[in-house]
Amino acid sequence: MPAVQGHHYERHSGGIAFVRDAVLGMSDGLTVPFALAAGISGAIAASHVVVTAGMAEIAAGGISMGLGGYLAARTHSDYYASEERREREEVKSVPEVERAEIAEIFEEYGLEGESLDRAVEAVTSDHDRWIDFMMRFELGLEKPIPGRDLRSALTIGGAYVVGGLVPLAPYLVIPDTRGAFGFSAAVTFVALVLFGLFKGRFTGMRPLTAAIQTVAVGGVAAAAAFALARLVT
């Protein structure tokens, strides 16, 4: 039974991590390239220029976001490993202090007397379980999922690229930026709404609130870029 519970926990954590990475990548992917396309559309009439600049930005942004996700996951793994080594040393050198810390944690959950003693004994009877307990409940650190760093990089970078292609798609088929911009704004608006609803569903926000927030952020960024391009030209 413990093995099944551990497996379920890892899958649950991995699912949350995947959704979080996808939300991060897609959010920037929909917003930044659209703002860039809007800004260029305010100054240039040829769609192919917007496509070229947009593709370059998507490539650079996807790589940058992916590397950022990789480094964040790698940093967490390295920090966890460092703290785990320190905790193992403390368990060996000052076990009574560590036992007292476990007791304090259980006391916060209402255990006392013999129940408290049995709980502490159950945790400390297995060395690895003891370390895992201290990492989770004393330090608040979850064990890194194997391969998380690479998966995070691919998920964030891939989501950014997918999101970025949405506002650029109309420019691929419509040669004039004025016409392409209108279609780009429409499809990006729909994509932002759907993405906002999805984000709200998985982050605990009200779907409508998340959708409005997502559209507002994308709209402000695009309007600012468009207005700046107009002023420059």
Report for 12-26, 29-43, 93-107: range of highest mean pLDDT: 93-107
Contact 163, 21 (CB under 8 A): no
Q: How confident is the model at residue 42 (pLDDT cuts 50, 70, 90)?
A: low
CA distance 35 to 89: 52
For the chain, percent of residues with pLDDT exceeding 70: 89
pLDDT at 229: 62
For the chain, percent of residues with pLDDT exceeding 90: 17
- 3-state DSSP assignment of residue 205: coil
Give me the helices (H) in 94-206, please: 95-108, 113-124, 127-133, 148-173, 177-203
pLDDT(6) > 60: no
CA distance 36 to 38: 5
Tokens of 105: 């944690």
Tokens of 166: 């949405």
Tens of pLDDT along 145-191? 878 888 899 999 999 999 999 999 999 998 888 888 889 989 988 98
pLDDT(3) > 50: no
Contact 50, 41 (CB under 8 A): yes
pLDDT at 71: 92
126 CB neighbour count, 10 Å cutoff: 11
Q: How confident is the model at residue 11 (pLDDT cuts 50, 70, 90)?
A: very low
pLDDT(134) > 60: yes
pLDDT at 9: 42
pTM of the model: 0.74
pLDDT at 64: 93
β-partners of residue 176 are: 46
